[in-house]
A and B are shown apart, each in its own frame.
Chain A
């Protein structure tokens, strides 16, 4: 039973990572680096809180989070795809913008520089069989956990089983080849980045919903860990989700070990260590889409 509870905790922690990491895999497979995950999640988290606070309906909060993710991602896409700005710089800019903007809104709307009032979280879904499973029943009653599990399969299929996914992958590898076949690099890259915004916004909604409030800087670097997970997962949605589960387990273990003699900071560093090993080629080869990070200029 203890093992099941631990597994449930690990899954719970890894949900926001997985959503954001899958989003990043769509953006990067199309050729756009998504270091903006942190900002996308933070804006999503705040938007959830605002929506849920204003309407007292958590689902309205989710809708607001999706919209916030979409709009923030649109900013990223507009700058990097249409105006061919440097993707890393733009992404970091969006992260800084989100950090400042959310604090500003927090102070103006909730008159607090640290946290929002309590807002409703998403209600549990009482499902037959699933909700009654020992140990993981509570986990499998959480709507966003179930949605995430479904999305792992759906996003993976989108990328590898659909025409859109094939075109997106081709554009992330050789945009000029796709362009000579009449495919629009701009449109596909926009789609990849916007889908990433939706998923990262949803990740933000999950954080606020679980905590029933928004706190300043509440993403706490999760966007970067999600990006690392996507790299460890070799730019595949399923691989990214699996890496997130591993990182989630490390975090759950770290929480468990708090107060014991074992230095839990070591476990906190684990995701980054694994990512470095993956990039250095120790855990298989992590090869980025060839055109990722390079703006597409049809004239050259």
Chain B
């Protein structure tokens, strides 16, 4: 192996009291795609911010082509040939592609005047050379997400980047855009660019990278050739233990129905029926999974069951009591817990503390406060145990919810919703966009709730999740339940056919997909 292009030596970076990077090593050799993997909060982003001059390391040094350099700011990093494609694109929506690409290194006429024509020609030539098709005159706000990402890559190349850092580049792309991106990245590597790929999608590491470095809790736990490392081994390195298989389904017959709907019709924002004549019951001690392509009425069904949108026809019963659909308070009082699909929009208040978030919606319950006053210290003391039980990191009642990673936010919501003694649980996309550890944790919790005799309705677009957790599966298509089955009697492919309304014809098969992992799901 030749001299590394980039060598991070013993990087330590402290953020407040926690150590985000602890003596981390990373070598990037010319022409490789090096995957940097780890769970949310493992220190990947911090490490790259140090490399890119956005954070200063407390200890350690950065070598570029064997020479020690100080990355004082992003400008220094760019001078040394580094370019970063951030997960949340750093683009100015109101400006054009050419303006975004050249910003900070603008093509100038005299006296600080812009030369927009020259900039557009330069960007067009660059886009042509690297086969990154994009119109230099288009405004960012008019572009697709995939095109915006191409602009981000062009920005780095325009500044002469020989090392490209991509932070979770596929998180926002459609499968087709992912293929295009991979082709571009392979071409760049062939052109002599080295790439750091930050991700927690292990299948992508396998498909694209030559080597990988695994970070866990701020430390490097391994650097290995991708060819020698199985996906299972990568997952084990990331999480720190072999993910144990989920507990077997108990054979006990489900009990009384705790969440029932009959002849339900719910209208969407345009007053059109989105849920049509849906009837089902979730009984004590069972998990019922609702599968479906997004936009087939799941959203309206969830909103109605949660009490946020009254049905236009039919009725809902929670723990045997009829509810009107006029208010979440009524539904909660009847015994429903709700893990909402959008944690920042519906689940949490970012600017409130963990302790306060733990009593959201429960403020009328005894013990939360006295009269109009919130509990203060007693509230914080009471929340500490729950934060620990639900593995919310950091378990600090005074931390702000907005500062937590997605996985920890989701665990915080679970800590609130699953500890209020509700008999029925509505879990909407409970693991969307969270890391493997949190997925595993939440899955186990939902199974434990089932075993404790609660009724769980799980709505998810992850078929592996539906198959791994459900006792019964209902498929929602165009607002109707078109299929009912059990995980043992079906697979992802069959479910996929029902979800797209093609099962009755049976003559237009979907491409085969891998079977659902029955171990802790989410690797797919």
Chain A interfacial positions (CB closer than 8 Å to B): 161-167, 169-170, 173-174, 176-183, 290, 298
B99 within 8 A of A: yes
B108 within 8 A of A: yes
B506 within 8 A of A: no
Question: Is there an interface contact between A167 and B103, defined as CB atoms closer than 8 Å?
Answer: yes
A176 to B, closest residue via Cβ: B90
Question: Is there an interface contact between A180 and B54, defined as CB atoms closer than 8 Å?
Answer: yes
Query: Hey, which chain B residues are within 8 Å of A180, CB to CB?
Result: 52, 54, 74, 84, 86, 90
Question: Is there an interface contact between B114 and A177, defined as CB atoms closer than 8 Å?
Answer: no
B382 within 8 A of A: no
B154 within 8 A of A: no
Partner of B114, one of A161, A176, A183, A298: A161
Q: A174-B93, A181-B90, A290-B93 are in contact. List 14 more A-B contacts (CB 8 A).
A: A162-B114, A163-B106, A163-B113, A166-B103, A173-B95, A177-B92, A177-B100, A179-B74, A180-B52, A181-B74, A181-B103, A181-B155, A183-B103, A290-B94
Question: Is there an interface contact between A182 and B75, defined as CB atoms closer than 8 Å?
Answer: yes
Question: Is there an interface contact between A169 and B95, defined as CB atoms closer than 8 Å?
Answer: yes
Task: Please list 19 pairs of residues, one from A and one from B, whose beta carbons are closer than 8 Å in the complex, sorted by A's number.
Answer: A161-B114, A162-B111, A163-B112, A163-B113, A163-B114, A166-B114, A169-B92, A170-B103, A173-B92, A173-B93, A177-B103, A180-B52, A180-B84, A181-B74, A181-B75, A181-B103, A181-B155, A182-B74, A182-B78
**Contact A177-B94, Cβ < 8 Å, known A163-B106, A163-B108, A170-B103:** no
Encode contact with A along B28-67: 1 for CB under 8 Å, 0 otherwise: 0000000000000000000000001010000000000000
Encode contact with A along B76-88: 1 for CB under 8 Å, 0 otherwise: 0010000010100
B51 to chain A, nearest CB (A): 13
Complex CA–CA separation, A178 to B90 (angstroms)? 8
Complex CA–CA separation, A180 to B99 (angstroms)? 15
**Contact A178-B93, Cβ < 8 Å, known A162-B112, A162-B113, A163-B113:** no
Question: What are the nearest 10 A-B pairs in CB distance?
Answer: A182-B75, A181-B104, A177-B90, A173-B92, A170-B92, A174-B92, A182-B74, A163-B106, A163-B112, A180-B90
Query: Hey, which chain A residues are within 8 Å of B99, CB to CB?
Result: 166, 170
A191 to chain B, nearest CB (A): 12
B49 to A, closest residue via Cβ: A180
Q: How many residues does chain B have at the interface if contact means C-beta atoms less than 8 Å apart?
A: 26
Query: Hey, which chain A residues are within 8 Å of B73, CB to CB?
Result: 182
Query: Hey, which chain A residues are within 8 Å of B78, CB to CB?
Result: 181-182
B380 to chain A, nearest CB (A): 24
Query: Hey, which chain B residues are within 8 Å of A179, CB to CB?
Result: 74
B153 to chain A, nearest CB (A): 14
**Contact A161-B93, Cβ < 8 Å, known A180-B84, A182-B74:** no
Query: Hey, which chain A residues are within 8 Å of B111, CB to CB?
Result: 162
Complex CA–CA separation, A179 to B105 (angstroms)? 13
B91 within 8 A of A: yes
Complex CA–CA separation, A176 to B108 (angstroms)? 23
Query: Hey, which chain B residues are within 8 Å of A164, CB to CB?
Result: 112
Count of chain A to chain B residue pairs whose CB atoms are closer than 8 Å in the complex:
69
Query: Hey, which chain A residues are within 8 Å of B74, CB to CB?
Result: 179-182
Question: Is there an interface contact between B91 and A177, defined as CB atoms closer than 8 Å?
Answer: yes
Complex CA–CA separation, A245 to B75 (angstroms)? 44
Among A161, A163, A164, A169, max chain B CB count under 10 A is at A163
Complex CA–CA separation, A6 to B103 (angstroms)? 45
B73 to A, closest residue via Cβ: A182
A62 to chain B, nearest CB (A): 25
Question: Is there an interface contact between B94 and A173, defined as CB atoms closer than 8 Å?
Answer: yes
A248 to chain B, nearest CB (A): 29
B232 to chain A, nearest CB (A): 36
B88 to A, closest residue via Cβ: A176
Encode contact with A along B103-138: 1 for CB under 8 Å, 0 otherwise: 111101001111000000000000000000000000
Among A166, A167, A178, A183, max chain B CB count under 10 A is at A166
Encode contact with A along B389-405: 1 for CB under 8 Å, 0 otherwise: 00000000000000000
B84 to A, closest residue via Cβ: A180
Question: Is there an interface contact between A161 and B103, defined as CB atoms closer than 8 Å?
Answer: no
A228 to chain B, nearest CB (A): 22
Complex CA–CA separation, A179 to B52 (angstroms)? 12
Query: Hey, which chain B residues are within 8 Å of A169, CB to CB?
Result: 92, 94-95
A291 to B, closest residue via Cβ: B92
Question: Is there an interface contact between A167 and B104, defined as CB atoms closer than 8 Å?
Answer: yes
Complex CA–CA separation, A196 to B2 (angstroms)? 55
A20 to chain B, nearest CB (A): 24
Complex CA–CA separation, A270 to B106 (angstroms)? 42
Query: Hey, which chain A residues are within 8 Å of B86, CB to CB?
Result: 180
Question: Is there an interface contact between A174 and B114, defined as CB atoms closer than 8 Å?
Answer: no
A200 to chain B, nearest CB (A): 24
A173 to B, closest residue via Cβ: B92
Complex CA–CA separation, A298 to B73 (angstroms)? 12
B185 to chain A, nearest CB (A): 20
Complex CA–CA separation, A252 to B99 (angstroms)? 42
Complex CA–CA separation, A185 to B468 (angstroms)? 49
Encode contact with A along B408-437: 1 for CB under 8 Å, 0 otherwise: 000000000000000000000000000000
Partner of B104, one of A162, A174, A178: A178
Query: Hey, which chain A residues are within 8 Å of B75, CB to CB?
Result: 181-182
Complex CA–CA separation, A180 to B48 (angstroms)? 12
Query: Hey, which chain B residues are within 8 Å of A167, CB to CB?
Result: 103-104
B522 to chain A, nearest CB (A): 29
Query: Hey, which chain A residues are within 8 Å of B91, CB to CB?
Result: 174, 177
Query: Hey, which chain B residues are within 8 Å of A165, CB to CB?
Result: 114
A164 to B, closest residue via Cβ: B112
A184 to B, closest residue via Cβ: B73
**Contact A166-B95, Cβ < 8 Å, known A176-B90, A181-B103:** yes
Complex CA–CA separation, A30 to B73 (angstroms)? 21
Query: Hey, which chain B residues are within 8 Å of A161, CB to CB?
Result: 113-114
Query: Hey, which chain B residues are within 8 Å of A182, CB to CB?
Result: 73-75, 78, 104
B90 to A, closest residue via Cβ: A177
Query: Hey, which chain A residues are within 8 Å of B105, CB to CB?
Result: 181
Query: Hey, which chain A residues are within 8 Å of B112, CB to CB?
Result: 162-164
Complex CA–CA separation, A198 to B93 (angstroms)? 30
B93 to chain A, nearest CB (A): 7
Query: Hey, which chain A residues are within 8 Å of B104, CB to CB?
Result: 167, 178, 181-183
Complex CA–CA separation, A85 to B120 (angstroms)? 39
B487 to chain A, nearest CB (A): 43
B320 to chain A, nearest CB (A): 48
Query: Hey, which chain B residues are within 8 Å of A290, CB to CB?
Result: 93-94
Complex CA–CA separation, A170 to B101 (angstroms)? 12
Q: Which of B358-414 contact A (CB under 8 A)?
A: none
B401 to chain A, nearest CB (A): 14
Query: Hey, which chain A residues are within 8 Å of B84, CB to CB?
Result: 180
Complex CA–CA separation, A170 to B84 (angstroms)? 18
Query: Hey, which chain B residues are within 8 Å of A166, CB to CB?
Result: 95, 99, 103, 106, 114
Complex CA–CA separation, A290 to B54 (angstroms)? 23
B76 to chain A, nearest CB (A): 8
